[in-house]
Amino acid sequence: MHLGRLVLVGVGLMGGSLAAALKRSHAVGEVVGLAREPGELARALELGLVDREETDPAAALACADAVVVATPVGAAEAVFRRIAPHLPAGVLVTDVGSTKGSVLAAARSAFGELPPSLVPAHPIAGTEASGPAAADPALFQGRRVILTPAPESDSGAVAAARALWEAVGAEVVEMAAEHHDEVLAATSHLPHLLAYALVDSLARRDDNDEIFDFAAGGFRDFTRIASSDPVMWHDICRANRDALLPALAGFRAELQRLETAVAEGDGDYLLTVFRRAKAARDRFIEGNES
């Protein structure tokens, strides 16, 4: 796989990492960053993540071989509207957004109908850091990337998206967007909401300095994801509302049962839940050791 020109919209952790990885594996000729205003991509240029900054979408998209949207998901519709008039037919458009139903909906709305060359993608990789300085060419190595093509998607475009992600070392799988959103609500969006909720509830206490002062390593790991970018996560919670609400309701019911067990001193119930959870997590970690 080789792309002559890749147009990147949003050059932060994800976009920057993809550019760096494609460059490292000589899978791309030129990376053009499409900026909202001149100078926006100064840091990305300095870091060598993009070769050129463009603010004019027509100029950026001329002769493009692929377009990757790597902004927060709430910006997807505006980005699609901006590129829609200038996108040459058949050019692959993909993204890295954490929610997929919303990206398909944004594209349908911006383009009028879904371009057959649009194949949404979500790399299951990342950290709580953000911005181009956090970009890492090894970020996708050995990680999953979920493609969520629509019925309208062209099979050649799906193959091109697969090749792009495989070029940076990812293992590509396909899934319906709705199913993706439900699975990720459970494993990612809900945990982020819980971590933010816990840290905020402690931060708002009068004794919060002391509280954090006596927090240990377990707390540091548990709350790591609460250091993630607030704008990105507020976008995700809004974009994936329909899958997040049932996940939240399920968790709330589970927590309510545990709270009752604590109140009633029901040690058997606590032990059963804790044992089942530990077994599941230890199994998950072993399965992901490599």
- Give the x/- contact pattern for ligand NAP in 226-245, rule: CB under 6 A: ---x--x---x---------
Min. distance of Cβ 109 from its own copies in angstroms?
Answer: 17
Residue 278 binds: one of its own copies, ligand NAP, none (C-beta under 5 to 8 A by kind): its own copies
Distance of alpha carbon 135 from alpha carbon 82, whole angstroms = 25
**Partners of residue 6 on adjacent β-strands:** 31, 66
Residue 20 has, within 13 A of its CA and on its CB side, a CA count of 23
Stretch that binds ligand NAP, among 126-134, 160-168, 190-198, 267-275 (CB under 6 A): 126-134
**Partners of residue 33 on adjacent β-strands:** 8, 53
- Give the x/- contact pattern for its own copies in 112-131, rule: CB under 8 A: ------------xxxxx---
45 exposure class (CB count in 10 Å sphere: 0-12, 13-18, 19+): middle
Residue type, 177: A
Kind and range of the H or E run holding 95: strand 92-95
Distance of alpha carbon 248 from alpha carbon 254, whole angstroms = 10
Q: Of residues 26, 37, 287, 290, which one binds its own copies by CB under 8 A?
A: 287
Cβ pair 119, 146 in contact under 8 A: no
State phi, psi for 120 to the nearest 5 degrees.
Answer: -65, 145
Stretch that binds ligand NAP, among 6-14, 23-31, 143-151, 277-285 (CB under 6 A): 6-14
Residue 288 binds: one of its own copies, ligand NAP, none (C-beta under 5 to 8 A by kind): its own copies
Residue 239 binds: one of ligand NAP, its own copies, none (C-beta under 5 to 8 A by kind): none
Cβ pair 204, 143 in contact under 8 A: no
- E strands present in 48-203: 52-54, 66-69, 92-95, 121-123, 144-147, 171-174
Decide: is 137 part of the binding site for ligand NAP (CB under 6 A).
no
Stretch that binds its own copies, among 99-107, 113-121, 159-167, 201-209 (CB under 8 A): 201-209
Stretch that binds its own copies, among 31-39, 42-50, 148-156, 236-244 (CB under 8 A): 236-244
Subset of 7-36 contacting ligand NAP (CB under 6 A): 9-15, 36
Min. distance of Cβ 89 from its own copies in angstroms?
Answer: 33
Can you say whether the dihedral through the CA atoms of 10, 12, 14, 19 is positive or negative? positive
Residue 78 binds: one of its own copies, ligand NAP, none (C-beta under 5 to 8 A by kind): ligand NAP
Tokens of 102: 């919303």
Q: Footprint of ligand NAP on this chain (CB under 6 A)?
A: 9-15, 36, 40, 70-73, 75, 78-79, 96-98, 122-123, 126-127, 130-131, 229, 232, 236
